[in-house]
A and B are shown apart, each in its own frame.
Chain A
Amino acid sequence: MIAANRPQSGSRLLSLDAQGLLREVSATQLPRLLRRGDVVVANDAATLPASFHGVHLPTGEAIEVRLAGKLDDDAARFVAIVFGAGNYRTRTEHRAPPPLLRAGDRLLLGSLVAEVERSIDHARVIALRFVASEAELWSGFAAHGKPIQYAHVVEPLKLWDVWTRAATMPMAFEPPSAGFALTWKMLDDFAARGTEFATLTHAAGISSTGDAELDKRLPFDEAYVIPESTVRAIRRAKAEGGRVVAIGTTVVRALEHASRNGTLRAGRGVATNRLGPGTKLKLVDAIVSGVHAAGESHYELLKAFATGEQLQKMTEVLELRGFCNHEFGDFVLIEREQSRTTTCVFADGNARMRYSNRGQQEGLRS
């Protein structure tokens, strides 16, 4: 696969439909692959400038802190990955380790000071708390934070490179990159074809820590918020036999987590679920994703939608056709295999409806 080394350079889309047929189109043609009554759900989280270069004050050593997750609602507390001296141009797996990080150590990050609360089962993972007011926190992020970046992209990223067109609340630690497929023109095209567009906000976490053992623990828990209007749009689509098309794995994770008890609920949640070959999808019928090489964790997620054999075939075509991978690359659309049915149940007055991915519905007494 060719690594996309410039921001938002993806332009092609390979679709794998429910019958296992492959088709290549321009990414702008996505609306033509969808149907009247489908609902497209995107992650509208804006990306935080979550990388901070600074100093470990007890030793005076240079460090890079990458915010990677939240522990609670405290705006100043984060889970962070810490590297020693160096920057994104060195591949994460070759980055120097940080100095020994102890509870109470202070880190100077631009105008911000953070305190190490504790290390979390790994020399490079800590809970930290910024010693700052809310105003200082945001102005400090704005002034000194940089988007988290990896070696395959050469030029330093700016915030505008990592915000999708839908970006709203700055909650994501890395971009919800499937959302780079979306344009305002595309939203108009969805509307013209009778496809609804809805969003949720999901704090997409980091994709790589540079440590194979640690990477196995990804994704960390991720906070999300699902608006009432999105639940209504999904309910409408399902009632009319439409499909739920998730733009990105974060959307799948949030929707499947929020409907884990059988009913999709609006509001806040913390996704702790993992997607993979064994996942029985309750709600989502299709996914738009970036291109991922076999073996990457994202590739495994796609096995919730298609068999390993189908994905293998798809990967061969992606290779052959020179698709670009990574966060700024091309896209795939994968419809769930026809035999796998969705099982989400909506509480709707007294009647309960059960849906399958073919849009059949049956009334159930509650």
Chain B
Amino acid sequence: MATSNDLSGLRVAVTGGTSGLGLALTRAFRKRGAAVAIVARTAEAVERVARETGAAGIVGDVGVKDDIYPIALQINGRLGGLDVLINNASSLGPVPLRLLGDTDCEDLEEAIAVNLVGPFRLTKALLGALAASAREGRGAVVLNISSDAAVNAYAGWGAYGASKAALKHLSAIWNEEQAAHGVRVLSLDPGDMDTALHALAVPDADPASLKRPETSADELIAAIVAALPPQRAAQPVGGYA
């Protein structure tokens, strides 16, 4: 896959950057020289990944209204602006997964708060920074991490699937509205990956049948780079092997 290997100067925020796909994205962006801010709820994990990768660590819960602006403040302050926002943090809803008829309303609300309302709020708070980046010719991309559960109806995946379907449609409308301002909004399915979330949802899955999150991260970075202005995408290839 033709991905740009030198992303120095790019400013990226990744929610859920301490595990699974988010961690793989954080490592891959850092290797390519991008400045990264990560957001997750567990302070120790945030600190560990920040130390390991040199990312700016931010502790916060994207499902909590009062956390969003403090998160946005720290992202803009630590990175000096923002080019790429990846809404990756996600809630499965009830675990173990439940049929809709057995799902508590509160569990559905929680999935929607984290998977739909959180990305909406954070995008809205950071839209000024993203549009400023686009005006300056740096480009701007929001990537909302989707799932095949957003398009296919799987029994037991009601809370998660409904929230992801709504996020996918929200992304498409954001993208229509923001095209004129140079902010691209993508919604992409990373595929079934061997992560903590997958193990929670499908405890008896054979890890060998699953994608490595690193593979998905590389594919997603290629898609982000393709959505940025060509000048940036054409930056010289660095030493990343």
- Contact residues of A with B, CB < 8 Å? 44, 46, 48-49, 134-135, 138-139, 141-143, 158-160, 163-170, 184, 187-188, 191, 197-199, 227-230
B97-131 interface (Cβ within 8 A of A): 125, 127-129, 131
Residue pair A170, B69 in contact (C-beta under 8 Å): no
**Quick check: is B78 within 8 A (CB to CB) of the other chain?**
yes
Give Cα distance in the complex from A141 to B70, angstroms.
8
Residue pair A187, B181 in contact (C-beta under 8 Å): yes
Give Cα distance in the complex from A118 to B59, angstroms.
34
Question: Which residues in A have their C-beta under 8 angstroms from that of B50?
Answer: 135
Shortest 4 CB-CB distances between A and B: which pairs? A142-B70, A159-B69, A168-B129, A167-B128
Check A158/B76 contact, CB under 8 A, given A135-B57, A199-B135: no
Residue pair A229, B137 in contact (C-beta under 8 Å): yes
Give Cα distance in the complex from A50 to B131, angstroms.
25
Residue pair A170, B76 in contact (C-beta under 8 Å): yes
Question: Which residues in B have their C-beta under 8 angstroms from that of A184?
Answer: 127, 177, 181
Chain B interface residue count: which class? 20 to 34
Question: Which residues in B have their C-beta under 8 angstroms from that of A44?
Answer: 128, 132
Give Cα distance in the complex from A230 to B131, angstroms.
13
29 contacts between A and B (CB under 8 A): A46-B128, A46-B129, A135-B50, A138-B74, A142-B71, A142-B74, A143-B70, A158-B66, A159-B70, A160-B125, A163-B69, A163-B125, A165-B127, A165-B128, A167-B129, A168-B82, A169-B76, A170-B73, A170-B76, A170-B77, A184-B177, A184-B181, A197-B135, A199-B132, A227-B135, A227-B136, A228-B136, A229-B137, A230-B135
Interchain nearest-CB distance for A29 vs B (Å): 20
Interchain nearest-CB distance for B69 vs A (Å): 4
Give Cα distance in the complex from A174 to B126, angstroms.
19
Give Cα distance in the complex from A164 to B131, angstroms.
13
Closest to B67 in A: A142
Question: Which residues in B have their C-beta under 8 angstroms from that of A138?
Answer: 73-74, 77-78
Give Cα distance in the complex from A44 to B181, angstroms.
15
Give Cα distance in the complex from A197 to B81, angstroms.
19
Neighbour of B136 across the interface among A163, A169, A229, CB < 8 A: A229
Interchain nearest-CB distance for B45 vs A (Å): 15
Question: Which residues in A have their C-beta under 8 angstroms from that of B228?
Answer: none
Interchain nearest-CB distance for B104 vs A (Å): 30
Closest to B121 in A: A160
Question: Which residues in B have their C-beta under 8 angstroms from that of A163?
Answer: 69, 125, 128
Question: Which residues in A have their C-beta under 8 angstroms from that of B40?
Answer: none
Neighbour of A49 across the interface among B73, B80, B129, CB < 8 A: B73
Residue pair B69, A160 in contact (C-beta under 8 Å): yes
Check A168/B73 contact, CB under 8 A, given A139-B58, A188-B180: no
Neighbour of A166 across the interface among B71, B77, B132, B180, CB < 8 A: B132
Interchain nearest-CB distance for B52 vs A (Å): 15
Give Cα distance in the complex from A85 to B64, angstroms.
31
Interchain nearest-CB distance for B103 vs A (Å): 31
Question: Which residues in B have their C-beta under 8 angstroms from that of A167?
Answer: 76, 125, 128-129
Residue pair A164, B70 in contact (C-beta under 8 Å): no
Give Cα distance in the complex from A164 to B124, angstroms.
11
Residue-wise interface mask of B (41-59) relative to A, using a CB-CB cutoff of 8 A (1 in contact, 0 not): 0000000001000001111
Check A142/B73 contact, CB under 8 A, given A166-B128, A168-B81: yes
Interchain nearest-CB distance for A230 vs B (Å): 8
Closest to A167 in B: B128
Residue pair A168, B76 in contact (C-beta under 8 Å): yes
Give Cα distance in the complex from A170 to B78, angstroms.
10
Give Cα distance in the complex from A191 to B135, angstroms.
13
Question: Which residues in B have their C-beta under 8 angstroms from that of A198?
Answer: 135
Interchain nearest-CB distance for B207 vs A (Å): 35
B174-196 interface (Cβ within 8 A of A): 177, 180-181
